[in-house]
Amino acid sequence: MAIVEEDLARVRSATDLVALVSERVALRRVGTRWVGLCPFHAEKTPSFSVNAELGRYYCFGCQAHGDAISFLMETEHLDFVPAVEVLAARLGMALRYEDAGSAARPKRSAELAQAMEKAVAWYHGRLLAAPDAGEARAYLRRRGYDGEVVRRYRLGWAPAGWDALVRALKLPEEVLAGAGLASRNSRGQLIDFFRARVLFPIFDPAGRPVGIGGRVLPGGQGPKYKNTGSTALYDKSKVLYGLNWAKSAIVERGQVVVCEAYTDVIGLHRCGVTEAVATCGTALAEGHVRLLSGFARRIVLAYDADAAGQQAALHFFDWERRLGADIRVVALPAGSDPADLALEDPDGLRRAVAEAKPYLGFRLERVLSAADLASPEGRARAAEQCLQLTADHPDPLVRDQYLMQVADRCRLSPDQLRELALAGPGRPGERRAGRAAGPAGRAVGPAERQPVAPGPGRPARRPAVAKVPPPELEALRLAVQVPGAVAGHLHAALFGSDLARATFEVLASSLTLSEAIERADDPQVVALLGRLAVEESQEEPDDVLERLVERAVARALGELQREARSERPTRSHRELAQLVSQLKLGLEELRSAEPGPGRAARLAEARGRLLTLLVGRPMDGSAGTDVVPPPGAQPSVAT
């Protein structure tokens, strides 16, 4: 869906970027700018700068730059439209969409989101105070959950009645059913989806409730866990419980710990592993991995990942190859889960997470630990099983490293194992189903893999800004910061740097700085505009313009001299000599302007005559028909 451009501009201009950034970064004022430590890379000296007036930020360390929308996208890992909608909601601003269908979808989603929020609040209140929730409160206390935990995770209680929520919320059936909160039974009655269960609200990365997981009390009726079905708000293959609380820790620590149950997440968080999340009643799916890849590369599985067997291995290796994931596994004691260990042995749980092994290494260790390595037969069987496991990995270098470890543990020669691997069925050298292959079906090695693109909102490394001559850089800085001071005095012919010229051209042809950044095709131009938005100009405009014109004239004279020496000049020697003379006279007039009243006007006239001469002839690939911004026109920087 597309948001009306005018509304995008309103959101950008009305959002207090300093206040928004200050929610994550400690900013201090330096001159007219605000500076702090960059939220997108580790640093000790502040290099992150915010221009409150223009609504732009820029990091001189990692070149991250943007406006309020991009800042929210990168820090909250949101797509563009949801980020705009969050900012609009903060401002109390209604958004318009390009067509009626697009407008109806967010309205429908807003109704479902409001219903889910009301339901979560109602269920939470029931758990805290309702008499019928006494047994649920006692159960949670036995699990070690005090009032602080209940409030932090907004736990709830669904009473046993058939339609308690339906009667309490009094919302239309299509809204309750659309949010997964109610449905019709066989008798045609509208009844609650959750009944007699402790509830764990599920939030999206921005902290908005989108679904609910319900756990039956010990001895209760029905399946142990029951989750919201697929709705317009909730897709269990793309949603992870706890991500809203864990995302900051995930980014900070560079890893995410994935569990199976809500109670596992809460247990891990309580013992300091605050980067934990859980799948919602489903196995880890590619949608989850894509989402998590936007936060961290390392994914640590805190459940029995070996139980899924061969198919899971192929998926994991494929995700590592295509999505750049680094999947590891926590070795948990048999029969235990993170929720139990968090109560019984929190130190052991933290240690197990810290010592998580790569997935293939974990599976091999399982085999070797259970094998009879004291006998030749046991070692042979273990080696054979390990060869079958390593055969699934697509990287021949990784396979060989593990093969040498297995050979050492099984007291075998690595060369002998290599021969067995090549000779046996499903040997590592052959491409198997689900595996990437290079030419002639051989497995693709690390050097041949395509780079993984950043996930949605991931702050990728930005291109460094190419060097621009100081006068040209200062002129562009003035065009962005104080456009009125240079309006009508700049032209593409004054810029010798290709990057500076392209930047000026997109500025001069745009109504706003935001529009210029959006229209720019060259990442270097985008990065330079982002940098210029936060840099203050310390020089007088007349001085900058004078140096800029002098440099342009010097370039033009050099080109004219080269043309005069060429065998086939495009103009006569007389024309060339006349133009050289005019440029030199104009340059002398510019340099000899005496201080005193009227000097600024005389300088402007001299620059204007020189610019007319420069624009009247092709130079540096710029046609003589380039548009000069007329007096009063300027590259606008209003956001």
89-102 tens-digit pLDDT: 888 888 888 765 55
Q: How many Å apart are CA 84 and CA 97, to the nearest integer?
A: 12
CA 227 to chain centre: 28
What pLDDT shows up at residue 306? 60
Find the distance separating the first CA and the last CA of the chain, reported in whole Å.
22
Q: How many Å apart are CA 461 and CA 288, to the nearest integer?
A: 23
Q: Are 461 and 84 in contact (CB under 8 A)?
A: no
CA distances, 496 to each of 333, 391, 473, 507, 613 (Å): 68, 58, 11, 16, 16
Q: Are 603 and 546 in contact (CB under 8 A)?
A: yes
Return the SS3 of 51. Answer: strand
Q: Look up residue 94 and give its two tokens.
A: 């209604």
Query: What is the DSSP pairing of strand 255-259 with strand 298-301?
Result: parallel
Average pLDDT over residues 326-336: 86
To the nearest 10°, the Cα dihedral for 154, 158, 164, 166? 60
User: Looking at 49-58, 209-218, 269-278, 594-603, which range is the least confident one?
Assistant: 594-603
Average pLDDT over residues 43-52: 89
Average pLDDT over residues 450-477: 60
Residue with tokens 């159960």: 139
Helices H / strands E in the chain, number of each: 26, 17
Return the SS3 of 260. Answer: coil
Exposed / middle / buried, residue 241 (Cβ in 10 Å: 0-12, 13-18, 19+): buried
What pLDDT shows up at residue 621? 36
Q: 5-91 belongs to which CATH class?
A: alpha beta
Stated as kind and residue range, the H or E segment containing 313 is: helix 309-323
Q: Residue 227 pairs with which residues in a beta bridge?
A: 213
Query: What pLDDT band is residue 637 in, cutting at 50, 70 and 90?
Result: very low
Average pLDDT over residues 487-494: 84
Query: What pLDDT band is residue 58 in, cutting at 50, 70 and 90?
Result: very high
Stated as kind and residue range, the H or E segment containing 279 is: strand 276-279
Q: Are 261 and 339 in contact (CB under 8 A)?
A: yes
* 438 CB neighbour count, 10 Å cutoff: 13
Average pLDDT over residues 268-291: 89
Q: How many Å apart are CA 64 and CA 391, to the nearest integer?
A: 42
Q: Where are the alpha helices (DSSP H) in 173-254?
A: 173-178, 243-253
Q: Look up residue 544 and give its two tokens.
A: 């900058």
| Higher-scoring residue by pLDDT: 540, 304 | 540
DSSP state of 306: G
Question: Any idea which fold 99-234 has?
Answer: DNA primase DNAg catalytic core, N-terminal domain (3.90.980)
In this structure, is the dihedral angle defined by the CA atoms of residues 204, 451, 255 and 428, taken in order, positive or negative? positive
Q: How many Å apart are CA 167 and CA 158, to the nearest integer?
A: 13
**Average pLDDT over the chain, rounded to whole?**
81
Over 70: is that where the pLDDT of 463 sits? no
Over 90: is that where the pLDDT of 299 sits? yes
Percentage of residues in the chain having pLDDT higher than 70: 85
Residues in the chain: 639
Q: Are 359 and 328 in contact (CB under 8 A)?
A: yes
The closest alpha carbon to 551, from 605, 485, 614, belongs to 614
| Higher-scoring residue by pLDDT: 369, 444 | 369
Q: Are 228 and 262 in contact (CB under 8 A)?
A: no
Q: How many Å apart are CA 602 and CA 600, to the nearest integer?
A: 5
Residue with tokens 């640093």: 43
Q: Look up residue 477 and give its two tokens.
A: 């800085």
Q: Taking the domains of the chain in order of start, what are their residue ranges?
A: 5-91, 99-234, 371-443, 470-615
Angle at 344 between CA 339 and CA 348, to 5 degrees: 90
CA 347 to chain centre: 33
Q: How many Å apart are CA 498 and CA 492, to the nearest integer?
A: 10
| Higher-scoring residue by pLDDT: 638, 140 | 140
Average pLDDT over residues 313-338: 84
Angle at 616 between CA 612 and CA 621, to 5 degrees: 120
Count CA atoms within 13 Å of residue 42 on its CB side.
4
What pLDDT shows up at residue 626? 39
Over 80: is that where the pLDDT of 623 sits? no
Q: Are 273 and 352 in contact (CB under 8 A)?
A: no
Residues 6+ apart with CB under 8 A from 69: 8, 11, 12, 80, 83, 84, 87
Residues 6+ apart with CB under 8 A from 114: none
Return the SS3 of 167. Answer: helix
Over 60: is that where the pLDDT of 452 sits? no
In this structure, is the dihedral angle defined by the CA atoms of residues 95, 70, 520 and 477, taken in order, positive or negative? positive
The dihedrals phi and psi of 626, each to the nearest 5 degrees, come to -55, 145
What pLDDT shows up at residue 139? 94
Q: Residue 3 pairs with which residues in a beta bridge?
A: 97
